[in-house]
Amino acid sequence: MFDRSDIAEAMRTYVLETAQVMVLHLDADDRVVGANDQALRVLRAGTVGRPLAEQIVDFNHTLDVPALIRQTGMVHRLTLSTASGQPETFGFRFFSISSGVLALASLDFQEQLELRNEVLSLNRELNNLTRQLHQANAELRELNQLKNQFLGMAAHDLRKPIGLIMTYSEFVLDEAGVQLSEQQREFLRTCLRAATGMKQLIDGFLDLAVIESGHLRLDLAPASAREMVAGAEPMAQLVAEKKGITLLVDVADDTRRLRVDASKLQQVLLNLV
């Protein structure tokens, strides 16, 4: 025959020291006055000595914990703050004993199953989004190649008419310069300088290697502020005269020469003016 006292002692030892079940002893004020090893491992430090209600996560403040505790024998799903820092839901059953209430709790496997299914669903969604991202990246690479082809064609098409402007401006200056007034010759020289500057811009901004690297090449050479202003002034004067604006140029008498890209700085001056 079985010795009931031995069985009871073995079960008591198992529940208090080994079982994956939390055992909480509550006094008449619903304060935790005792806990088994599993409860001490799972719950936050300081569980013993605090009311159970203080350890329950209740965002809506709608739980009547004392009333739940008095409903003995029923299973209540309660979420508690745990030592891991993450709230976890347990199935609680409360039993009246002579010294208060005995609470037995185990993890809510239904919620764990729901959480697992939700994680799997999110993982599938993430995989779908990853595939969409790879597809979008492939489309972007294709569009980038098309953009490069377009810029290459645009650079080629723009260089040709600008080259013609430069060639014919030089031809007219050389062959018919003596028949033109000084103002007309200066107009032609201004056109030639403008076309030369435009060609340099095209070479710099539409060069595919430059665009891909994200850096502009600088043609550095010694130049003074007076020289850069003198290079930009004729083109600015033409625009000003068309609009009836008098453009006055006053450059400090500074002969210092710095290593700069004069054509790009002249473009900056024209844009500012």
Q: Calculate the alpha carbon distances from 268 to 116, 214, 220, 231, 273 in Å.
A: 62, 19, 16, 12, 9
Q: What percent of the chain has pLDDT over 70?
A: 81
The whole-number average pLDDT for the span 75-80 is 83
Please check the confidence at residue 9 and state whether its pLDDT lies above 70: no
Q: For residue 14, what pLDDT is reported?
A: 61
> What digits encode the pLDDT tens for the residues 235-256?
777 778 778 889 888 888 877 8
Lowest-pLDDT choice from 18-22, 98-102, 133-137 = 18-22
Mean local confidence (pLDDT), 194-204: 76
- Res 187: pLDDT: 82
Residue 13: what pLDDT? 67
Could you tell me the pLDDT band of residue 156, with boundaries at 50, 70 and 90?
low
Q: What is the pLDDT at residue 177?
A: 67
What percent of the chain stands above pLDDT 90?
Answer: 1
Is there a contact between 105 and 90 (Cβ–Cβ < 8 Å)?
yes
Ordered by where they begin, the domains of the chain are 4-107 (3.30.450.20), 218-273 (no CATH)
Q: Answer whether residue 229 shows pLDDT above 60.
A: yes
**pLDDT tens digits along 85-130:** 778 888 888 888 888 888 888 876 666 666 667 777 888 888 888 8
pLDDT(15) > 80: no
Q: Which of 67-81, 197-211, 256-270 has the lowest mean pLDDT?
A: 197-211
Q: Residue 215: what pLDDT? A: 62
